[in-house]
Structure 1
Amino acid sequence: MIRVRRGLEVSNVGYPQLMEVMRFQITSRREFERLRACDPATLTDLERAARFLYLQRLAFGGQLGGVFGVAPDQSARFSLAKIGPLLDAAHTRLDGVVFENLPWQEVLARYDGPQALFYLDPPYWGGEDDYGKGLFDRSQFSELAERLGRIEGAFVLSINDRPEIRDLFGAFVIEEVRLTYSASKTGATAARELIIANREVRVGLV
């Protein structure tokens, strides 16, 4: 089953019905622009789920709200023959997983314990609205550091490398990671990120 959030209501969408909605969908710039401009509130749950998958697969870098992403040397990323196995694999992998839609503070409080391991992926410093306007403001970085200092369990946090981040999380183990951002209109760019934890970590990324 695919869970689709509609406002505050969460509905269950059947996999066969979703595939049927997308059955005759084609890869088209005009269709991409039409769906991007469409108000999701006017769609059924099935149509909303199909729209999300279509836009995510075809947007440049997989970024919702992004531009139509195609390459002359690659086939279209939206293909029902490929999406079917992907959804099936995701369903199998996530079977038994509990999804929570709670503020991060409540997740830490609810699930903390000696055996807990939290992975945190907050917005980058300087991109606080990237996950949605008003969802995470800059003041929450210091709150996050303070709360992580009090948990019983372990945590791993990934973030961009900024002096402010190094200062706020200086009490923890910090490892620098050098990597390449490939989803860029200007081509691949070298970047640095930080892996922060309250236990010793071994970073294998280069």
Structure 2
Amino acid sequence: MKLKFVIFALVLSSLLGLTEKTFAKSPKSSNWKNFRLEYQSTGNSEMKVGWNGKRLVVKLKPQGGEGGYSLARRVLEPKYRSLKTIRKYSKSRHLYRNRFITFPFKVISNVIRSSALKAIFYKDKADEDYWKHRVTYGWETTTLIAGLFTKKGIKAGHLVRYNKMRKNGNILKKGDVIKIPWKWISSELALRQVAVRAPLKLKQEAS
């Protein structure tokens, strides 16, 4: 009986060891996407965008020598540009260069918001007639997509009718493509690429 117990203990120990190794080797998938603005490449310029379980947020760090007022001017929308907003989301009266501050999408400047959208929705593409959004995450909803990309007055219902979506857009599957006409896209996001036509060639008439 004692021998059986010893053998059982050895087998169990081996199985637990294999399980720990398996978990240790398995890669961790991150919900956060790193991004920078085009003109930033050094220092505390790297930011993160991701889903926090309730909403889409941006994480960023103050730059060297940056106080609350200067940080607000750099990263916030004019409507929310105040020291009160900075303190609300930093949850501190002091700013630290090595500590991320998490901001909801609505308070972030359009420049940062545009770069963040391109980073998190990396499968999206700009077409000639519309922005082509590809559903990538399980937390996406038609209402959320409309709120992130479209200008004031354009709601989820507009996207549902234009794309002839099933179940009134209440059920989205990964890989679904939602087309958003450029006239509905918020121009402040600057997502549309300006098409440059080839220069005109002048023909010389025969004399």
TM-score (norm 1): 0.31
> Looking at CA atoms only, which structure, 1 or 2, has the larger radius of gyration?
2
Higher strand share: 1
TM-score (norm 2): 0.31
